[in-house]
């Protein structure tokens, strides 16, 4: 199953079109896409019996599949080749930071560029479907509602400011957390632990990796995070990026107004941003 946020309304995406959940359920489920994760199991059971149909979806109106997550976790340096290109050793424990929720947006639109060190990071994003507290790696996938595509846009100068750099602010400018185009449930994947993810800038392939090359797998990440913070329905987990970011190149490449970034994950889809000048340059 695929579910989308179409102009702010929870929608089941079928080959024949989009089905408005509030209407199709006679009001049993809210139109608010953020509300569904609190009742995910009940919703998924109901949705399994919904027949294909509905209206064509205008992709320009898509919002974030989980638009108001209570928590957004992100894992740094989770692919070995990316850790090395970033100038780090391969980490022994997952590097964890947040993208503050105000940066979470839908799959298409403009990306304001606030400085001259804005970089791209295509990532697989897991959306939490039920409260997860101290869960085992073996059980962790059962806490996931589904997967979506994310971009962990990063202003590298802000990311590394200070004596003990804290990544989170440099990852949280407006528009730095686009997600979408929809959430795809786990039954839609042949092998949920091995997905191709790619990123192009102005049509040139910059990143191409496979999630099987993560240092810590998605279940491993969820287990470790949930040993500290209970994971809540609708929370997002950005799972790290493969090699090929702009700052790792010789010479480095950073995003400028006019650039177009397309990020894809196999069997999910693509998200797309057009870079524009920010109203206020920060750095
Ligand atoms: Zn990242």
**19 Cα to the center of ligand 1, angstroms:** 33
**94 Cα to the center of ligand 1, angstroms:** 12
- Angstrom distance (rounded) from CA 154 to CA 151: 9
**62 Cα to the center of ligand 1, angstroms:** 23
**171 Cα to the center of ligand 1, angstroms:** 8
CATH number, domain 72-277: 3.90.850.10
Lowest-confidence region among 130-139, 160-169, 211-220: 160-169
**10 Cα to the center of ligand 1, angstroms:** 27
> If pLDDT is split at 50, 70 and 90, which confidence band does 91 have?
confident
* pLDDT tens readout for residues 251-274: 999 999 999 999 999 999 999 999
Query: What sections of the chain are H helices per DSSP?
Result: 21-24, 40-47, 80-85, 156-159, 218-226
**50 Cα to the center of ligand 1, angstroms:** 36
Distance between start and end Cα atoms, the chain? 42
SS3 9: strand
* pLDDT tens readout for residues 197-218: 999 999 999 999 999 999 999 9
pLDDT beyond 80 at 281? no
**101 Cα to the center of ligand 1, angstroms:** 15
Phi, psi of 158 (to 5 degrees): -70, -35
pTM of the predicted model as reported, rounded to 2 decimal places: 0.97
* In the chain, domain spans: 2-63, 72-277
């Amino acid at each position: 199953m695929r579910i989308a946020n179409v102009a702010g309304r929870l929608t089941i995406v079928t080959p024949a079109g989009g089905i408005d959940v509030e209407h199709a359920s006679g009001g049993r489920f809210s139109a608010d896409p953020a509300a569904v994760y609190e009742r995910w199991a009940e919703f998924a059971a109901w949705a399994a019996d919904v027949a294909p149909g509905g209206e064509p979806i205008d992709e320009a109106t898509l919002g974030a599949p989980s638009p108001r997550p209570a928590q957004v976790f992100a894992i740094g340096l989770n692919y070995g080749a990316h850790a090395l290109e970033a100038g780090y050793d391969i980490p022994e424990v997952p590097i964890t930071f947040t993208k503050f929720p105000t940066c979470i947006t839908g799959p298409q639109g403009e990306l304001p560029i606030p400085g001259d060190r804005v970089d791209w990071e295509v990532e697989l994003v897991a959306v939490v479907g039920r409260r997860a507290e101290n869960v085992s790696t073996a059980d962790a996938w059962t806490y996931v509602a589904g997967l979506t595509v994310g971009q962990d846009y990063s202003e590298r100068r802000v990311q590394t400011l200070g004596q003990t750099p804290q990544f989170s602010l440099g990852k949280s400018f407006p528009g730095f957390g686009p997600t979408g185009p929809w959430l795809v449930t786990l039954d839609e994947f042949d092998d949920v632990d091995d997905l191709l993810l790619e990123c192009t800038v102005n049509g040139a392939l910059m990143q191409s990796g496979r999630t099987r090359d993560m240092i810590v797998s998605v279940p491993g990440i969820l287990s470790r995070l949930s040993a500290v913070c209970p994971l809540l329905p609708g929370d997002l987990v950005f799972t790290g990026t493969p090699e090929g970011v702009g700052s790792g190149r010789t010479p480095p490449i950073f995003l400028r107004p006019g650039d177009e970034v397309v990020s894809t994950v196999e069997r999910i889809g693509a998200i797309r941003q057009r870079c524009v000048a920010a109203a206020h340059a920060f750095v």
